[in-house]
Amino acid sequence: MSIVTVQLGQCGNQIGFEVFDALYSDSHCPQGLCSKRENEVYQASCKERFFSEEENGVPIARAVLVDMEPKVINQTLSKAAQSGRWKYGQHSCFCQKQGSGNNWAYGYSVHGPRHEESIMNLIQKEVEKCDCLSGFFIIMSMAGGTGSGLGAFVTQNLQDHYSNSLKMNQIIWPYGTGEVIVQNYNSILTLSHLYRSSDALLVHENDAVHKICAKLMNIKQISFSDINQVLAHQLGSVFQPTYSMEGSYHYRRNPLGELMENLVPHPEFKMLGIRNIPQMSENSLAYSTFTWAGLLKHLRQMLISNSKMEEGIDWQVRPPLSRLPTLGKVSLNRELHFNTSIANLVILRGKDVHSADLGGFKDPALYTSWLAPVNAFNVWKTQRAFSKYEKSAALVSNSQFLLKPLDTIVGKAWNMFASKAYIHQYTKFGIEEEDFLDSFTLLEQVVASYCNL
Amino acid sequence: MGRRRRRVDRGAAVGALPKAIAALSRTLPAGPSPEIFRRAKFDRPEAAPALWQLLFRVLSPLSADGASASPAQEAQVRAVKSELRSQGYPRRALAQLPEDGSQGSRELLLALAWLLARGPLLERLLAQTRVRLGDEIPLCECEALARPGAPVPRVEADGPVDIRHLQWLMGKLRFQWRKLITSQQEQCALLGKIHSYTRGCHSDRSLGHLSVAETELLRDAEGGQQLLRRLESENVCLEAALRWRRQELVFWRWMDTVLGTCPPEASQPTFVPRIPERGAGEWELVARELQALQEELRGAAEPRRAAWEARVGGWGPEWSAVQRASREAVGLELAALQRAWERGGAAAQPHGPCRLVKSDAGASGGPGLRAAQVIEVLRSREACLEAVLCQLQRQCRQELARLAGALPGLIWILPPGR
């Protein structure tokens, strides 16, 4: 079943390129550590999901590129075509000549409706190429202008026109010390609108990925390209093919559907975080070996202590001894250090994957009281190695990962709103104070729900 | 002369009965031999298990090619009793048969005859197990609605249930629903492709293209052999059914004699369980105590009920009038809905699945329905149901508003949605 990707804005388009590139490279990687026949099945499964076929055999990414200025789109198109391995469709992009000045309201209320028909037509054409549409990825930044406002509008439209298809928004959480002064406003408006019309919000934090580049990959001058590649690696390790069930060697047909069913069926809990282990530069890779026990131990502690990477994990954090049902508000100070999960999905790829012991993730102490581990924890496996890593594990988690960052952003936005700073930029284009208040209410509710796990 | 003729007639009749029963048996799933039927007339216990099994297979909803193992004897017996009761079977003697399935073959035989006589039982069974060569889609849901299927096991929750868990489960259901719709869309797209690619391949000109089963037949020889075998066994069943139709009069005359051998039914006002001889004294004690308790309860409940009725202002006769009125209103609404459906639709739609055939746009009408017509009917039904849904939602909103107004200190926060 196929996934159609909508790449929005500078952020979305640059990341989208890296994602398709990572998927393609991995599926054609010769060091898959599996038989030739299995490799072919793996390739075919990945191809059907993310690429469509053309006569001369060059795969075309199932993607629609949208931006309000042509520069980034042209760069993306040419980078893909240059590689000669895969490319974007000739008529799959939409761009205008002007930017939107990082104005969320302009993106949502002006660009959106004005270009609605063209954009939806492009998406429709891409959907028609699929034998079976599983759903949509929408890659966008949360705090920018075009990406966020227009992204919120497009997601709403997808909800209206393709209500049965699944939608996952890949959201780029901005740097804490970002340059755009209204980024917190943009963030809360984006999040609240997406919460209403999307099925899942998979969050990638710029700060976290930046640290991974610096500490683990040892990159001295970190460019956006490096960050995007790490991000793409994480996404690829989740969505590349996996066996459909224990003991089977058939690949899962609908990973997006199963992921959503396992992680985000509750309408109030839609925020997902992603962790990946190991991450290192290619040079170090040749000299490292891992055991599943070691990898999973680290991954589990990363989950519990809300650590973003395998270095600097706080090993002091332990699950609470008794998981009593929390009837009232839990004391924030002490308990927040321990990250309570609602549901987790672990994906294992590589050698001897069937011998990996996941007992540590089935501990009821990790989870909230109203969902038992048998329902809350899922694991996907394949013995086909991912992208030259002999063993790798990924974790997609619906937990309190984003509670603190979300609370921080809402707090900062509220402080600005209380003094009505910069509100006129939004009211000028139809986003009224009422809309801000609605957004605050919704997000406060989300914060409270995650807090009371 | 007359006597010899009668003897000849009787001789012919004696031969005809086993043949008729054999034909009937061949048509039914798990049909027992004619000897079982004969023993059942005399209520022989050894005939009972086979007849319980037969009734179970006849009455239970269609399982996929009989793949699942049949349940234990007691479960079968209970299922048969409950299904017959819900269909209105009049003889109480059957309900009183023991659950180990060891007795009552005559009663079972009578029940089978009752089912046969009531309606087109054989036709329905044969239709259910028909070998289908085409790509079928169901046009109406009545078959599925009439048989709600196995009852869902009720799980008692120990302790209070967290509503978040319920919301979680609801969400999972919704996702599965969406996955189902997506799968159906994929199936339609692929069927379309197969139908287009195999255009002109079918020997039957009116169909024009192959179905999935027929295409598989060409690709897979082993599968073709299996299909052939299934068709042959279906033919045997159908021929048996035809033979039965020609000879069934003999069977019914014989069933009259079976009924004649039954003892007259004693009229029992209530079903009394058999009390074992051992411990009969204790049972009597218990029965007396129960009766005393019942009297006490009645004595306590009556004045309370009278007081409550007095408080709500003589709801006795008025309440039943209100009930009657609302029942009538619902009946009227339902009838109006059905009339609207019939008006919107063409002549009565056929029940059960129909074969999908893809034809060119300009093709002149053959037998069967056009998809456009079916779609129109479904759309008008959808519109009717949407109207009813909107009305019910409006009523819900009004009720919520009323409740919200009644509790001034309470703030209602609606869930995020548009």
Q: Mind listing the pLDDT tens digit for each residue in B387-403?
A: 989 999 999 888 888 87
- Name which of A292-301, A314-323, B190-199 the model is least confident about: A314-323
The yes-or-no verdict on residue A47 having pLDDT over 50 is yes
Nearest CA to B65 out of B243, B240, B183, B234 is that of B234
Residue in chain A closest to B183 (alpha carbons) equals A132
Question: Is B334 in the A-facing interface, judged by CB distances under 8 Å?
Answer: no
The yes-or-no verdict on residue B336 having pLDDT over 80 is no
In degrees, rounded to 5, the angle at the alpha carbon of residue B105 between the alpha carbons of residues B104 and B106 is 90
The yes-or-no verdict on residue A26 having pLDDT over 70 is yes
Length of chain A: 453
pLDDT, average across residues A396-425: 94
**Per-residue pLDDT tens digits for A9-19:** 999 999 999 99
Contacts of B415 in chain A (CB under 8 A): 267-268
Residue in chain A closest to B187 (alpha carbons) equals A132
Q: What is the pLDDT of residue B64?
A: 40
Q: How far is A98 from chain B (nearest CA, A)?
A: 31
Mean pLDDT of chain A: 90
Distance separating alpha carbons of residues A444 and A439, to the nearest angstrom: 8
Q: In this complex, do B416 and A1 lie within 8 Å of one another by their Cβ atoms?
A: no
Q: In this complex, do B416 and A264 lie within 8 Å of one another by their Cβ atoms?
A: no
The residue among A10 and B208 whose pLDDT is bigger is A10
Residue in chain A closest to B161 (alpha carbons) equals A370
Q: In this complex, do B171 and A325 lie within 8 Å of one another by their Cβ atoms?
A: no
Phi, psi dihedral angles at B103 (to 5 degrees): -135, 170
The yes-or-no verdict on residue B351 having pLDDT over 70 is no
Contact of A134 with B182, CB cutoff 8 Å: yes
Name the residue with tokens 């490319």: A87
Q: How far is B36 from chain A (nearest CA, A)?
A: 47
Q: In this complex, do B168 and A164 lie within 8 Å of one another by their Cβ atoms?
A: no
pLDDT, average across residues A370-383: 93
Question: Is B1 in the A-facing interface, judged by CB distances under 8 Å?
Answer: no
Kind and range of the H or E element at A134?
strand A133-141
Task: Find the CB nearest A131 among B165, B175, B190.
Answer: B190
Question: Is A420 in the B-facing interface, judged by CB distances under 8 Å?
Answer: no
Contacts of B166 in chain A (CB under 8 A): none
Residue in chain B closest to A452 (alpha carbons) equals B164
Q: What is the pLDDT of residue B341?
A: 66
Mutation to test the B interface, candidates A133, A136, A194, A261, most B Cβ within 10 Å: A261
- Sign for the CA dihedral angle at A108, A114, A119, A124 comes to positive
Q: In this complex, do A265 and B168 lie within 8 Å of one another by their Cβ atoms?
A: yes
**Per-residue pLDDT tens digits for A268-282:** 999 999 999 998 887
Q: What is the pLDDT of residue A246?
A: 76
Q: What is the pLDDT of residue B418?
A: 42
Q: What is the pLDDT of residue B11?
A: 52
| Coil, strand or helix at A163 | coil
The residue among A144 and B353 whose pLDDT is bigger is A144
**Per-residue pLDDT tens digits for B34-43:** 888 888 888 8
The yes-or-no verdict on residue B158 having pLDDT over 80 is no
Contacts of A2 in chain B (CB under 8 A): none
Distance separating alpha carbons of residues A116 and A18, to the nearest angstrom: 26
- Name which of A240-244, A332-336, A387-391, B35-39 the model is least confident about: A332-336
**CA atoms in the 13 A half-sphere facing the CB of A251:** 24
Question: Is B197 in the A-facing interface, judged by CB distances under 8 Å?
Answer: no
Q: What is the pLDDT of residue B138?
A: 74
Q: In this complex, do A196 and B413 lie within 8 Å of one another by their Cβ atoms?
A: no
Q: What long-range pairs does B140-148 form, CB within 8 A, spacing at least 24?
A: B140/B349, B140/B351, B140/B352, B142/B351, B143/B351, B143/B352, B147/B61
Q: What is the pLDDT of residue A339?
A: 92
Question: Is B252 in the A-facing interface, judged by CB distances under 8 Å?
Answer: no
Q: In this complex, do A268 and B169 lie within 8 Å of one another by their Cβ atoms?
A: no
Q: What is chain B's alpha carbon radius of gyration, rounded to the nearest angstrom? A: 30
pLDDT class of A342 with cuts at 50, 70, 90: very high
Residue in chain A closest to B417 (alpha carbons) equals A196
Question: Is B226 in the A-facing interface, judged by CB distances under 8 Å?
Answer: no
The tokens describing A157, both together, are: 């439209």
Q: In this complex, do A197 and B170 lie within 8 Å of one another by their Cβ atoms?
A: no
Mean pLDDT of chain B: 78
Three-class DSSP labels, chain B:
CHHHHHHHHHHHHHHHHHHHHHHHHHHCCCCCCHHHHHHHHCCCHHHHHHHHHHHHHHHCCCCHHHCCCCCCHHHHHHHHHHHHHHHCCCCHHHHCCCCCCCCCHHHHHHHHHHHHHHCCHHHHHHHHCCCCCCCEEECCCHHHHHCCCCCCCCCCCCCCCCHHHHHHHHHHHHHHHHHHHHHHHHHHHHHHHHHHHCCCCCCCCCCCCCCHHHHHHHHCHHHHHHHHHHHHHHHHHHHHHHHHHHHHHHHHHHHHHHHHCCCCCCCCCCCCCCCCCCCHHHHHHHHHHHHHHHHHHHHHHHHHHHHHHHHCCCHHHHHHHHHHHHHHHHHHHHHHHHHHHHHHCCCCCCCCEEECCCCCCCCCCCCCCCHHHHHHHHHHHHHHHHHHHHHHHHHHHHHHHHHHHHCCCCCCCCCCCC
Q: What is the pLDDT of residue B65?
A: 44
Contacts of A371 in chain B (CB under 8 A): 165, 168
The yes-or-no verdict on residue B5 having pLDDT over 70 is no
Task: Find the CB nearest B185 among A132, A267, A375.
Answer: A132
Cis preceding linkage at A174, omega within 30:
no
Q: How far is A253 from chain B (nearest CA, A)?
A: 11
Interstrand relation of A271-277 and A63-67 (parallel, antiparallel or unpaired) = unpaired
The yes-or-no verdict on residue A335 having pLDDT over 80 is no
Residue in chain B closest to A326 (alpha carbons) equals B162
**Per-residue pLDDT tens digits for A86-115:** 999 988 999 888 766 678 999 999 989 999
Question: Is B176 in the A-facing interface, judged by CB distances under 8 Å?
Answer: yes
Q: How far is A166 from chain B (nearest CA, A)?
A: 8
Q: What is the pLDDT of residue B272?
A: 47
The yes-or-no verdict on residue A345 having pLDDT over 90 is yes
Name the residue with tokens 């605050």: A440
Instruction: Provide the percentage of residues in chain A whose pLDDT is more than 70.
Output: 95
Is A180 exposed, middle or buried (CB count within 10 Å of its CB: 0-12, 13-18, 19+)?
Answer: middle
Phi, psi dihedral angles at A150 (to 5 degrees): -65, -40
Residue A209 Cα to chain centre, angstroms: 12
The yes-or-no verdict on residue B61 having pLDDT over 70 is no
pLDDT class of B225 with cuts at 50, 70, 90: confident
Question: Is B159 in the A-facing interface, judged by CB distances under 8 Å?
Answer: no
The yes-or-no verdict on residue B67 having pLDDT over 80 is no
The yes-or-no verdict on residue B266 having pLDDT over 70 is no
For residue A239, the one-letter residue type is F
- Name which of A292-301, A402-411, B116-125 the model is least confident about: B116-125
Q: Looking at chain A from residue 305 to 364, which residues have their Cβ under 8 Å from any Cβ of chain B?
A: 325
Q: In this complex, do B418 and A196 lie within 8 Å of one another by their Cβ atoms?
A: yes
Task: Find the CB nearest B182 among A132, A264, A369.
Answer: A132
Residue A240 Cα to chain centre, angstroms: 14
**A-B contacts (CB, under 8 Å):** 70
Q: In this complex, do B189 and A131 lie within 8 Å of one another by their Cβ atoms?
A: yes
pLDDT class of A328 with cuts at 50, 70, 90: very low
Kind and range of the H or E element at A349?
strand A341-350
The yes-or-no verdict on residue B258 having pLDDT over 90 is no
**Per-residue pLDDT tens digits for A150-166:** 999 999 999 999 998 99
**Per-residue pLDDT tens digits for A190-215:** 999 999 999 999 999 999 999 999 98
Contacts of B183 in chain A (CB under 8 A): 132
Residue in chain A closest to B163 (alpha carbons) equals A370
Q: In this complex, do B171 and A266 lie within 8 Å of one another by their Cβ atoms?
A: yes
Residue in chain A closest to B192 (alpha carbons) equals A131
Q: What is the pLDDT of residue B379?
A: 87
Query: Roughly what angle, to the nearest 10 degrees, separates helices A9-27 and A70-83?
Result: 10
Q: What is the pLDDT of residue B62?
A: 58
**Per-residue pLDDT tens digits for A113-147:** 999 999 999 999 999 998 889 999 999 999 987 77
Q: What is the pLDDT of residue A234?
A: 95
Q: How far is B182 from chain A (nearest CA, A)?
A: 7
**Per-residue pLDDT tens digits for B128-155:** 778 888 887 777 666 555 555 556 666 6
| Coil, strand or helix at A93 | strand
Contact of B58 with B89, CB cutoff 8 Å: no
Q: ipTM value of the model? A: 0.90
The residue among B57 and A201 whose pLDDT is bigger is A201
The yes-or-no verdict on residue B252 having pLDDT over 50 is yes
Q: Looking at chain B from residue 89 to 108, which residues have their Cβ under 8 Å from any Cβ of chain A?
A: none
Distance separating alpha carbons of residues A301 and B204, to the nearest angstrom: 67
Q: In this complex, do B171 and A371 lie within 8 Å of one another by their Cβ atoms?
A: no
Q: In this complex, do A265 and B415 lie within 8 Å of one another by their Cβ atoms?
A: no
